[in-house]
Amino acid sequence: MKIEQFQTDFRLWLWISFGLFLASLFFMHIGVKADSMTPVAWMWHVVQVIFQGDFREAFGVSFMLVLFACIYLVASIVLAWLVQCLVVMIRTR
């Protein structure tokens, strides 16, 4: 039985993870059920708070946004790697 070595397609991996990350920003909801909002709406709230001059609230909201963005980023990178592996394996056969 011969073991095949597959070459990682980094460009495909990057584009898939970028697409999944952007999709997660529009479809995932942050917060409890009553007050949940998408991260894009949350970013707009941060911009509004900064222009109003309330930096204390802006820091708290920004921290939560960065935390959720990091979680979404890691999840999209892992999922994109799995999809990329599947695509590369199908291409080489």
pLDDT in tens, 27-74: 766 665 666 677 777 778 777 877 887 777 777 777 777 887 888 899
| 3-class state of residue 42 by DSSP | helix
| Residue 29, Ramachandran bin (φ over 0: left; ψ between -120 and 50: alpha; else beta) | beta
Q: Which residues of 18-46 are buried (b: 16+ CB within 10 A; e: fewer)?
A: eebbeebbeeeebeeeeeeebbeebbeeb
pLDDT tens string 70-93: 888 999 999 999 999 999 989 887
> Is the pTM for the entire model greater than 0.75?
no
Beta bridge partners of 37: 30
